[in-house]
Structure 1
Amino acid sequence: MSAPALRRLVRAAPLRGVSDRPLCGSGLKRKWNSLLSAVMGNSSCHNALGIPAAKGPHQVGCTDLMVGHTVQGTFFRLYYPCQTSEGFEKPDWVPCREYFNGLADFMKISRSLSERIFNYLFGSYKIPAAYNAPFKPGEKYPVVIFSHGLGAFRTLYSAICAELASQGFVVAAVEHRDESASATFYYKERSEAQPKPPGKRENFRPVSDNLEEQWMYYRPLKTGEREFPLRNKQVKQRADECIRALDLLFDINAGKSVENVLESEFDFTTLENGMDLCRIAIMGHSFGGATVIECLCKEVRFKCGVALDTWMFPLDEEMFPDVKQPLFFINSEKFQWAGNIIRMKKLDSAFIPRKMITIKGTVHQSFPDFTFLTGNWIGRILKLKGEIDPHIAMDLCNHASLAFLQRHLSLNKDFNQWDHLIEGKDDNLIPGTNITIPQSSM
C-alpha cells in the first residue's frame, strides 16, 4: 500500500470543502459522503469487489492457532481442505479494529479518521474460507508456510493461501511478532491484584480468564537509526517463527496434544497423519520473500521456496551459498530496481534450480488481497492495482507457483499443465526481469 498517497487522501479530502473552509454538521457529512463516493466509485462497483473464491477441487477451511501465550509463542492462520463449508461462517478479512489502527500507524495517519475509511472500504469483506470447518481426511497434504510482508499480518494474503488449500495443501500463514507486522497480539498473565475488568471487550477469547490481550504494533525506525541492523535482526526472527510453526505442524501430525491459547471449535487432532511432511515449501511476499531465503538457509526441511516480489535488503549476502534448495522469484513489473535484482542474481546456481519471472502490468501490492478490494481509480492512486486485471495476475502467480511446487515437491498432480509459466512463456509474463542490469555489476 502506498502510505504517502493514502495519507494525502485521508488528511485533505474529508476536512475541507471546495472553498477550503472548515466543514461541520451537514457540510462535513456531505463532504464525507463525497469522499466515500470518490474512493469507491459507486455502490455497484463496491458490491462487485471481493476476494475471489478458490478454484481448486477442495473446499477450504481456516482456523487460528496460538501456542504459547507470550510474545515468544507461535501464531498462525491455518488454511486446509475441509469436508464441507455449509453452516460455517467466513471470517472477517480484517479481524478487528486494532488491525485497522495498526495499518493507520504504519501509514502515519490518524487512527480515528482512518478507522472510518478503512471500515468503509474493507470492513465488510470476508475471507473465502469456512472458519473452523472440519478437516478433510483421506490423503496426506503437502505443507506451505507463508510469511507476510512489512506492515501486513496473517489474513492479508487469503487469495493465495485459500487457493493453495483448495489445490490440496495445508498452509500456515504466520503472523510475525518482530514488530514488522502493522499489528499483532499475544497475552500476559493477570496478577491476583489485577482481576479482569467487568464487561471488558476482548477480540479473541483466550481459554484462560487469567490472560489479557497485549497488542504489538509496527515499530518505525528511530531518528538516526540505521535500517539494516533492524531488518536483519527481524528477518532472522521471522525465519525462526516460520520454523517454530513447522515444528508445531510436525507435533500435530504426530498426534501430540497442542494447547490452543485461543478458544476454538476446531479439532486439531483430526490433522493427525494428515500432512505429508516430506513435502514442505516456504512462501512469502516482500519482507516475506526475504524470509523465504532466510528459512531455506536455516532449515533443510523446506524443500523449495517461492518468493513474491522479494525485498532483498534485510539479508546477509554471506548466507546465499548456504541456500541449497530450488527457489522461484515471481516479481511485479513496477516494484523492482537494479540493486535488488542484482542481489537476487547472486543466488543463481549452475546446479540448483533458480527461476525468475515478472508479471506484466503488476505493482508490489498485486500479491496481497488489497488489489481485489478497491476500484480502479482509487486502486491506481494508492498503487494497490496495476494495469493488468488483478484476477489474471493472481492466476498467473498461483498457477506458476503450483507448477513449481509440483516439480520440486514431486507431487502427483496436474499442475505441470502450467510448467510453461515457470519459464515466463505467456503474453502477460516476462522471462527473468524487466530491469536492465549493467553487465559490469554482475
Structure 2
Amino acid sequence: MGGTQSLGLPHGKGPHAVGCTDVMVGQNQKGLFFRLFYPCVSQEGAEQPFWIPRYEYYCGLADYMNMNRKWCAPLLSVTFGSCRIPVSWDAPLKPSKNKYPLIIFSHGLGAFRTVYSSVCAEMASRGFLVMALEHRDHSASATYFCKLEPEASDFPEAPVQEEWLSYRGVPKDQKEFRFRNPQLHQRANECIRGLKLIRNIKAGKAAVNLLHTDFDLSLLKDNVDLSRLAVMGHSFGGATAILALVKEAQFKCAVALDAWMFPLENSLYPKVTKPVLFVNTETFQTADSLAKMKKICSMNEETKLITILGTVHQSQTDFTFLAGNLVNRVFQTRGTINPYEGLDITNRAALAFLQKHLQLKEDFDQWGGLLEGVGDAVIPDGPLQKSSL
C-alpha cells in the first residue's frame, strides 16, 4: 500500500517546552471547561496525554458523522486510541518575567478541546498561554460538566456526578441560522467567561478545578499579560472569534481559521473594527462567505485575508496528521500540500499577525510577508480568483 498511514502530531517548534492540563470550573453547564497549553519547565519522561481523552468522545464523533455508535466508536477507538499529544501532562508552568500573552481558542462543529492540539502546542512553544475551550452549546461532538450531589455540598471533596452533553444537529423544523446563531452567541460568551476566570485569578481569587489535576492555577496570577489578549478559532470557532472580538473590549485581535461565516448576523459586520486575520483553506469557502470576509476587511486595513493552496477544511485540525489513508479518502482530511507545511504556514501567519497587534518583542515578523499572501502555497484573497486567470 502506498503512502503513510498516519503521520503523528508535530512538536511545537518554538523555544519553550509545552505542558497542558484540563480545567473545569463551576458545577453546572454555565461553568467552563478547557484545556490549557502553556510554556512549561522541561520534564524528563513526563506523561504525554492521549489525543482523545475518553471513550465518550468516540461515541460523540460517531453521532456527529451520523454513524452507528455500535460499530463506529470502537473503530475510531482502534484508529486513534494510541495517539498521544507531544506535550507534558500537568508539568509545572515556566515562570516568565515578561508574562505570557493569552489566546482563547474556539473549536469547530463536532470538535472538542483536543482536536487543535497541533496549533495550540505550537503557540505555547512560542510563549503564549492557550485556553482551548470545550463549548457547551451542543456543537462539540461530546462534552460534560460536573454537578455535586445535593447532599454533598457541605463536603468539598465529595464525589461529583458527570452529566454529558451530546452533539445536536439542526432540528428538521428549524431554519439553520435560527439554530446556529444563538449557539454562536453562547460560544462567544464562553470565550469571555474564560477571560473573566483569568481576570479573577489575577485579582487573587481562588479558582477551584473540579478535575483535581496537579497544576496550580494560582501561578497564572503573575504570569499572564491580559493587555495582550487574542481570540482564535477554526470554522464555527472562527465565527466565534469574530463575535467575541466585537463583544469584549479587551480582545485586541482575532485569528479566524477557515471561518464558517454563515451563523454571524449581518448587523455585526460594521462592528468588526479591530484587526482580524482570515486564514482560509482552498476548498471550503463559498463566494457568499468570502464577500462577508471582504466586508470585514473594509472596516480595517490591518484585517488580512489569505488562502493556503492545496489545503482542505481539515488541514487546520489534528485530523490531517492522524487520519490514515482510508479515513483520509472517506473524509477528506488532507489536501495536496504536505500537512506539516500547510500547518506551518497557518501558524507562521498567525504568529506574525499576533506579534504586530499584541506588540510582542519576538522575531515572528520574519513571516510578515504571509499576511500579504506572499510565499509558497499562499495567495492574498480567496481561492475564487484563480478561476478568472
Bin of the TM-score, shorter chain as denominator length: over 0.9
The aligned counterpart of 2:12 is: 54
Q: Distance in 1 between matches of 2:301 and 2:201?
A: 32
Contact 1:69/1:186 (8 A) holds in 2: yes
Contact 1:60/1:85 (8 A) holds in 2: no
The aligned counterpart of 2:129 is: 170
CA deviation after TM superposition for structure 1 residue 337, in Å: 1.1
Task: State how 1:25-104 maps to structure 2 within 5 Å.
Answer: 45-46=4-5, 49-104=7-62
The aligned counterpart of 2:83 is: 125
Residue-by-residue CA offset, 1:187-244 (whole Å, 9 max, x unaligned): 223255x9xxxxxxxxxxx974342111001011222211111110000000000000
Contact 2:58/2:74 (8 A) holds in 1: no
- Name the amino acid aligned to 1:53: H
2:107 is aligned with 1:148: yes
Structure 1 pair 221–256 and aligned structure 2 pair: CA distance change class (3 A): same
Contact 1:57/1:167 (8 A) holds in 2: yes
CA deviation after TM superposition for structure 1 residue 138, in Å: 2.5
The aligned counterpart of 1:398 is: 347
The aligned counterpart of 2:317 is: 368
Q: Secondary structure at the match of 1:54?
A: coil
Contact 2:231/2:255 (8 A) holds in 1: yes
CA deviation after TM superposition for structure 1 residue 349, in Å: 2.5
Q: Distance in 2 between matches of 1:333 and 1:94?
A: 27
Q: Distance in 2 between matches of 1:273 and 1:52?
A: 30
Q: Distance in 1 between matches of 2:205 and 2:351?
A: 30
Q: Distance in 2 between matches of 1:386 and 1:70?
A: 40
Q: Secondary structure at the match of 1:272?
A: helix
More divergent stretch after superposition (343-352 vs 315-324): 343-352
CA deviation after TM superposition for structure 1 residue 345, in Å: 1.2
Contact 2:4/2:325 (8 A) holds in 1: no
The aligned counterpart of 1:423 is: 372
Q: Distance in 2 between matches of 1:212 and 1:151?
A: 24
The aligned counterpart of 1:291 is: 240
The aligned counterpart of 2:303 is: 354
Q: Secondary structure at the match of 1:435?
A: helix
Q: Distance in 1 between matches of 2:61 and 2:326?
A: 21
Contact 1:190/1:211 (8 A) holds in 2: yes
Q: Distance in 2 between matches of 1:351 and 1:121?
A: 44
More divergent stretch after superposition (372-381 vs 125-134): 372-381
Structure 1 pair 183–345 and aligned structure 2 pair: CA distance change class (3 A): same
Q: Secondary structure at the match of 1:306?
A: strand
Q: Secondary structure at the match of 1:126?
A: coil
Q: Distance in 2 between matches of 1:342 and 1:245?
A: 31
The aligned counterpart of 2:171 is: 222
Please point out which of 268, 273, 276 is paired with 1:327.
276
Q: Distance in 2 between matches of 1:390 and 1:210?
A: 43
Contact 1:324/1:352 (8 A) holds in 2: no
Contact 1:380/1:386 (8 A) holds in 2: no
CA deviation after TM superposition for structure 1 residue 254, in Å: 3.3
- Name the amino acid aligned to 1:83: V
The aligned counterpart of 2:65 is: 107
CA deviation after TM superposition for structure 1 residue 351, in Å: 4.2
More divergent stretch after superposition (314-323 vs 54-63): 314-323
Q: Distance in 2 between matches of 1:221 and 1:155?
A: 24
The aligned counterpart of 1:188 is: 147
Contact 1:308/1:331 (8 A) holds in 2: yes
- What is the number of equivalent residue pairs in this alignment? 385
Structure 1 pair 93–412 and aligned structure 2 pair: CA distance change class (3 A): same
Residue-by-residue CA offset, 1:53-78 (whole Å, 9 max, x unaligned): 11100000001111102101011100
Q: Distance in 2 between matches of 1:376 and 1:270?
A: 43
Q: Distance in 2 between matches of 1:101 and 1:230?
A: 23
The aligned counterpart of 2:197 is: 248
Contact 1:101/1:115 (8 A) holds in 2: yes
- Name the amino acid aligned to 2:166: Y
Residue-by-residue CA offset, 1:383-417 (whole Å, 9 max, x unaligned): 10001100000000000100000011110000000
Please point out which of 81, 93, 97 is paired with 1:135.
93
CA deviation after TM superposition for structure 1 residue 421, in Å: 0.7
- Name the amino acid aligned to 2:116: Y
Q: Distance in 1 between matches of 2:387 and 2:96?
A: 52
TM-score for both structures, normalised by structure 2? 0.95
CA deviation after TM superposition for structure 1 residue 276, in Å: 1.0
CA deviation after TM superposition for structure 1 residue 264, in Å: 1.1
- Name the amino acid aligned to 2:122: E
User: Structure 2: any 5+ residue segments left out of the alignment?
Assistant: none
Structure 1 pair 327–82 and aligned structure 2 pair: CA distance change class (3 A): same
Residue-by-residue CA offset, 1:261-292 (whole Å, 9 max, x unaligned): 11111111222210111000000000000001
Q: Secondary structure at the match of 2:297?
A: coil
Contact 1:376/1:385 (8 A) holds in 2: no
- Name the amino acid aligned to 1:128: P
Q: Distance in 2 between matches of 1:303 and 1:430?
A: 25
